[in-house]
Amino acid sequence: MSLDLSQFHQAFFAESVEALDSMEAALLKLDVGSPDPELINTVFRVAHSIKGGSATFGFNEIASFTHSLETLLEELRAQRMPVSAAISDLLLKSVDVMREMLRAVHARQPLDAQRVADLQLDIELAIAQKSTAMPAKPNEPAAVDSCSWQIRFRPYAQFFARGNDPLRMLRELASLGTLEVHADVALLPALTELDPQACHMGWAMRLTGRIGEEALREVFDWATGDCDLAIERVSASGESPEPVPGMSGPRSEAQAAAAASESGSIRVGVEKIDELMNTVGELVITQSMLRQLGRSIEGAAADRLRFGLAQLERNVRELQESVMRVRMLPISFVFNRFPRMVRDLAQRLDKQIELKMSGEQTELDKTVLEKIGDPLVHLVRNSIDHGIEKPAPRVAAGKPPAGTVQMHACHRGGNIAVEVSDDGSGLDRERILAKARERGLIGVGDTFSDEQVTQLIFLPGFSTAAQTTDVSGRGVGLDVVQRNIKELGGKIEVQTEPGRGSRFTITLPLTLAIVDGQSVAVGRETYIVPLTSIIESLQLKAENVNRLSGRGEVFAFRGSYLPVIRLHELFGIEPRVRKLHEGLVVVVEGDGRRAGLFVDDLLGQQQVVIKSLETNYGRVEGVSGATILGDGSVALILDLAGLIRLTALRAAA
pLDDT in tens, 279-297: 887 787 788 788 778 877 8
**pLDDT per residue as tens digits for the range 461-512:** 666 655 545 555 444 467 778 878 877 778 888 888 888 899 999 988 776 6
**pLDDT per residue as tens digits for the range 337-361:** 888 889 888 888 899 999 999 988 8
E strands, 455-591, are 491-497, 501-509, 514-522, 525-530, 534-538, 545-548, 552-557, 560-566, 584-590
Residue 241 pLDDT more than 80?
Answer: no
**182/11: higher pLDDT:** 182
> CB neighbours (10 Å) of residue 80?
16
Q: What does the radius of gyration of the chain's CA atoms come to, in whole angstroms?
A: 33
Q: Give Cβ neighbours of residue 464 (< 8 Å, ≥ 6 apart).
A: 386, 428, 431, 432, 435, 457
pLDDT tier, 652 (very low <50, low <70, confident <90, very high otherwise): low
**137/643: higher pLDDT:** 643
E strands, 8-61, are none
| Angstrom distance (rounded) from CA 177 to CA 65 | 24
**pLDDT per residue as tens digits for the range 366-406:** 878 888 888 888 889 988 988 899 999 899 988 999 999 99
pLDDT tier, 421 (very low <50, low <70, confident <90, very high otherwise): very high
User: pLDDT at position 72, please?
Assistant: 87
Nearest to 383 by CA among 459, 471, 483: 471
| Angstrom distance (rounded) from CA 256 to CA 270 | 30
Write down the CATH number for the domain with range 147-242.
3.30.70.260
Residue 444 CA to chain centroid, in angstroms? 44
**pLDDT per residue as tens digits for the range 520-531:** 998 888 999 888
**441/301: higher pLDDT:** 301
| Angstrom distance (rounded) from CA 93 to CA 88 | 9
Burial string for 32-71 (b: 16+ CB within 10 Å, else e) reads eeebeeebbebbbbbbbbbbbbbbbbebebbbbbbebbbe
Residue 255 pLDDT more than 50?
Answer: no
Q: For the chain, what is the largest distance between any 2 Cα atoms, rounded to a whole number of angstroms?
A: 108
Q: What is the DSSP letter of 417?
A: E
Q: Do 149 and 233 contact (CB within 8 A), yes or no?
A: yes
**pLDDT per residue as tens digits for the range 559-575:** 788 888 888 888 888 88
Residue 477 backbone zone (phi > 0: left; psi -120 to 50: alpha; other: beta): alpha
Average pLDDT over residues 241-255: 43
Q: Which amino acid is at 224?
A: T
**436/152: higher pLDDT:** 152
Select 514-652's CATH number: 3.20.20.60, 1.20.1630.10, 2.40.50.180, 2.60.40.1120. 2.40.50.180
| Angstrom distance (rounded) from CA 404 to CA 383 | 9
User: pLDDT at position 404, please?
Assistant: 92
Average pLDDT over residues 529-549: 80
Mean pLDDT of the chain: 79
User: pLDDT at position 265, please?
Assistant: 62
Residue 551 pLDDT more than 70?
Answer: no
pLDDT tier, 419 (very low <50, low <70, confident <90, very high otherwise): very high
User: pLDDT at position 240, please?
Assistant: 44
| Angstrom distance (rounded) from CA 28 to CA 21 | 11
Helical spans, DSSP H, in 296-420: 302-327, 332-335, 338-349, 366-382, 391-396
Write the burial class of residue 651 (CB in 10 Å: 0-12 exposed, 13-18 middle, 19+ buried).
middle
Regarding beta strands 328-330 and 178-184, do their DSSP bridges make them parallel or antiparallel, or are they unpaired? unpaired
E strands, 93-226, are 147-155, 178-184, 202-209
Q: Is 503 helix (H, G, I), strand (E, B) or coil?
A: strand
Burial string for 224-239 (b: 16+ CB within 10 Å, else e) reads eebbebebeeeeeeee
Q: Per CATH, which fold does 331-509 belong to?
A: Heat Shock Protein 90 (3.30.565)
Average pLDDT over residues 526-540: 86
**pLDDT per residue as tens digits for the range 576-632:** 888 877 888 888 887 667 888 888 888 888 777 777 777 667 777 788 888 877 677
Q: Which CATH superfamily is domain 5-133 in?
A: HPT domain (1.20.120.160)
Percent of the chain at pLDDT above 90? 5
